[in-house]
Amino acid sequence: MTTLTELAALLATGKTSSVELCQDYLARIAAWNPTLNAFITVDAERTLSEARAADALRAQGRGGALTGVPIAHKDIFCAEGWRTTCGSRMLANFTAPYDASVIERCKAAGMPCLGKTNMDEFAMGSSNETSFFGPVRNPWDVERVPGGSSGGSAAAVAARMAPAATGTDTGGSIRQPAALTGITGLKPSYGVVSRYGMIAFASSLDQGGPMAPGAEDCALLLNVMAGFDARDSTSLERAPEDYTRDLARPLTGVRIGLPREFFGAGLSADTARAVLAAVEELRRQGAETVDVSLPNSGLSVAAYYVLAPAEASSNLSRYDGVRYGHRAAEYRDLTDLYERTRAEGFGTEVKRRIMIGTYVLSHGYYDAYYLQAQKLRRLIARDFEQAFRQCDVILGPTAPATAFRLGEKTADPVAMYLSDIYTIAVNLAGLPGLSLPCGFDTAGLPIGLQLIGDYFTEARLLNVAHQYQCITDWHRRLPAGMS
């Protein structure tokens, strides 16, 4: 049994304890992490201490729905007393002095932390190959990538080294690795989950979210993660929601939009076949399909790789070797300190994006690039507005193909960037998006189906995903040898 609901039921009935659960997961981490490299930091003593505290709460009758259920956290979230590296050399020895809002909420729910998961450096990547701590490997084929940047969290859940994990999504970094590893991942509407204590990449795009085997798990975890936080100026002050409330709702009459732009050139035959088969299954459950158009979605990658690097160049300027993080051992003056520290502390992809971002914000190029990209962002959002007048949910592939081989795209940044061609527009518009498994290709690799909703319709996305998962078992399948 691996779902959060099943684990919570075992804890509630006393059939197991949080300590026993954590010991089981820590044993799986010890067995599989040397191969998969999904975790950067594990602290068994701290995990078991938190588990004992959770068991004590349940014994006193004070436990919540997920008290005692362990979780893994992407190493982009500051966690007090835990090494928090963001997958970088720059922060390789940084210990966070406080908890991110997401960590606070998981702690308050009584969820012990199993460890911090590997990720692309500063969340910049689509394959988890840019991490200073080495690439994460896909549990379905260890010679292939798990996707990025939340690849460590995805691999940990797929290999059942954790029942659930947190991730972040700037241009697809929850959904794309979820698709490539055969799990479910949700990017909420921008502002639903606080970014306080989440190390920034692109502040107008970053959003934390849950990753777990199924939609019901993601709904339970989003109940924990979501909520207003006055410490985050972009956090939305909204009434609390129960994201599990519509899970059992029938799909009769639900209008599913199929964007013609998502089913054209570049989509692999295996992926198209699996996604369209899922559409037929949803129709059998009573859903209706309508054709919609997102005419500017093809330009989302170009817009994103102007806007996101521009914000990154600003956010990463804080890493100067003065206050925290890596500092060059030798330097002549302050300018030389900055230059040497950043040259040593940042990897190739991060340097590339900082340079692009600085360029597009520079005098003479701001109007030509950055301003035009912002205009295009508005057009992309408008496309979604018009589409949602015709449908309730938009459906398509999460990624154009299944997991590619390690090193296959590292020499071609453009090819790597196109891995997110179906996910990026969702971030530019600030919409919620969810990926769930819908089959396998001829090589036995998972295929992801993406659902996109209008603002604050996470419960509807989870409803559609859960109803699909009630009659399929793709999300319950495990990589060979990892049962």
- Distance separating alpha carbons of residues 258 and 290, to the nearest angstrom: 6
Whether 375 is a known active-site residue: answer no
Whether residue 209 contacts residue 191, with contact meaning beta carbons closer than 8 Å, is answered with no
**Per-residue confidence (pLDDT) for residue 1, from 0 to 100:** 55
**Location of structure tokens 């090193």:** 407
CA nearest to 396, candidates 429, 426, 417: 426
Average pLDDT over residues 204-212: 98
- Which residue in 17, 127, 173, 235 is the catalytic one? 173
Report the C-alpha dihedral over residues 237, 238, 240, 242, rounded to 10 degrees: -140
Phi-psi domain of 250 (left: phi exceeds 0; alpha: psi -120 through 50; beta: other): beta
CA nearest to 297, candidates 187, 193, 172: 172
Q: How confident is the model at residue 269 (pLDDT cuts 50, 70, 90)?
A: very high
Domain boundaries, the chain: 4-252, 298-376
Whether 74 is a known active-site residue: answer yes
CA nearest to 229, candidates 262, 256, 196: 196
Whether 314 is a known active-site residue: answer no
- Which residue in 74, 107, 116, 187 is the catalytic one? 74
- Distance separating alpha carbons of residues 22 and 163, to the nearest angstrom: 10
The sign one gets for the Cα dihedral 68, 72, 78, 81 is positive
Q: HSE on the CB side for 234, CA within 13 Å?
A: 19
Q: What residues form DSSP beta bridges with 447?
A: 439
327: enclosing H helix or E strand = none
- Which residue in 149, 189, 300, 419 is the catalytic one? 149
DSSP 99-165: --HHHHHHHHTT--EEEEE--SGGG--SSS-S-TT----BTTBTTB---SSSHHHHHHHHTTSSS-E
Tell me the per-residue pLDDT of 63-88, one tens digit each, with 9 for 90 and over: 899 999 999 999 999 999 999 999 99
Q: What's the gap between Cα 395 and its chain centre?
A: 18
DSSP 205-233: T--EEEEESSHHHHHHHHHHH----TTST
Tell me the per-residue pLDDT of 13-68, one tens digit each, with 9 for 90 and over: 999 999 999 999 999 999 999 999 999 999 999 999 999 999 999 999 998 999 99
> pTM for the full model?
0.97
**Mean model confidence pLDDT for the chain:** 97
**Location of structure tokens 């969702």:** 426
How many C-beta atoms surround the C-beta of residue 283 within 10 A?
Answer: 13
CATH number for domain 4-252, candidates 3.40.190.10, 3.40.630.10, 3.40.640.10, 3.90.1300.10: 3.90.1300.10
DSSP 56-103: HHHHTT---TTTT--EEEETTB--TTSB--TTSSTTTT-B-SS--HHH
Tell me the per-residue pLDDT of 330-342, one tens digit each, with 9 for 90 and over: 999 999 999 999 9
Q: What's the gap between Cα 238 and its chain centre?
A: 23
User: In this prediction, what percent of the chain has a pLDDT beyond 70?
Assistant: 100
Secondary structure class of 357 (helix, strand, coil): helix
Whether residue 161 contacts residue 32, with contact meaning beta carbons closer than 8 Å, is answered with yes
**Residue 394, pLDDT above cutoff 80:** yes
DSSP 411-442: T-HHHHHGGGTTTHHHHHHT--EEEEEEEE-T
Backbone angles phi, psi at 41, to 5 degrees: -130, 130
